[in-house]
């Protein structure tokens, strides 16, 4: 299964989501390929935000090797799921999504009808506690995602 996590800048939320999904999958022995991207071009080539790196390092997840990139059209064919962090990211994705895209493009916190875990708030203008909350929220959604995807099959 191939997953792409998407936020606005690809430096705070989606790199953290990638690291958390990889970690949860590894703990469960599930084979996934994960990448992350931004809908905006502001931070292309940059490392994740230092605050995301530090927050995830506190639980042994290393984001430091990730580099920001922008979503491209090919992503809509190469990934099984494209997981937007908030409603605005989802709207931006839908605006550029080809009609014959094969990926399921959803908001991560509402990846299925019964899942109502909401938007992952943008912590960029927040403080360290915003990044802590982001990590907990992403972990809750990632656990729910794998619970749901693998109980259905």
Give the span between the Cα atoms of 40 and 89, in whole angstroms: 10
The one catalytic residue in 13, 35, 86, 135 is 13
Tell me how far apart the terminal alpha carbons of the chain are, to the nearest angstrom.
13
Using CB atoms within 10 A of its CB, is residue 128 exposed (0-12), middle (13-18) or buried (19+)? Answer: exposed
Using CB under 6 A, pick the residue from 3, 5, 9, 119 that binds ligand 4NP: 9
- The smaller minimum CB distance to ligand 4NP, of residues 28 and 50, is found at 50
Q: Identify the three-state secondary structure at position 25.
A: helix
Give the span between the Cα atoms of 24 and 135, in whole angstroms: 13
Residue 12 designated active-site: no
Choose the binding region for ligand 4NP from 2-10, 96-104, 108-116, 136-144 (rule: CB under 6 A): 2-10
* Residues near ligand 4NP (CB under 6 A), total: 10
Single out the residue of 35, 6, 31, 13 nearest to residue 150, CA to CA.
31
Using CB under 6 A, pick the residue from 3, 4, 5, 11 that binds ligand 4NP: 11
Using CB under 6 A, pick the residue from 3, 4, 12, 20 that binds ligand 4NP: 12
- The smaller minimum CB distance to ligand 4NP, of residues 11 and 105, is found at 11
User: Residue 6, interface with ligand 4NP (CB under 6 A)?
Assistant: no
Instruction: Find the Cα–Cα–Cα–Cα dihedral 93, 46, 20, 139, rounded to 10°.
Output: -70
Place of tokens 């984001």: 63
The one catalytic residue in 49, 75, 86, 122 is 122
Sites of contact with ligand 4NP (CB under 6 A): 7-13, 42, 122, 124
Residues forming the active site = 7, 13, 122
């Amino acid at each position: 299964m191939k997953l792409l996590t998407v936020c606005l800048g690809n430096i705070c939320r989606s790199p953290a989501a990638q690291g958390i999904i990889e970690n949860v999958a590894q703990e469960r022995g599930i084979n996934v390929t994960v990448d992350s991207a931004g809908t905006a071009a502001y931070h292309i080539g940059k490392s994740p935000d230092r605050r995301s790196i530090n927050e995830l390092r506190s639980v042994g997840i290393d984001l430091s090797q990730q580099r920001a990139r922008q979503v491209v059209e090919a992503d809509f064919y190469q990934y099984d799921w494209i997981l937007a962090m908030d409603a605005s990211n989802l709207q931006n994705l839908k605006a550029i999504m080809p009609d014959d895209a094969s990926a399921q493009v959803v908001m991560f916190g509402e990846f299925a009808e019964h899942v109502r875990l909401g938007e992952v708030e943008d912590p960029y203008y927040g403080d360290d506690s915003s990044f802590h909350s982001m990590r907990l929220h992403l972990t809750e959604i990632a656990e729910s995602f794998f619970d749901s995807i693998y109980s259905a099959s």
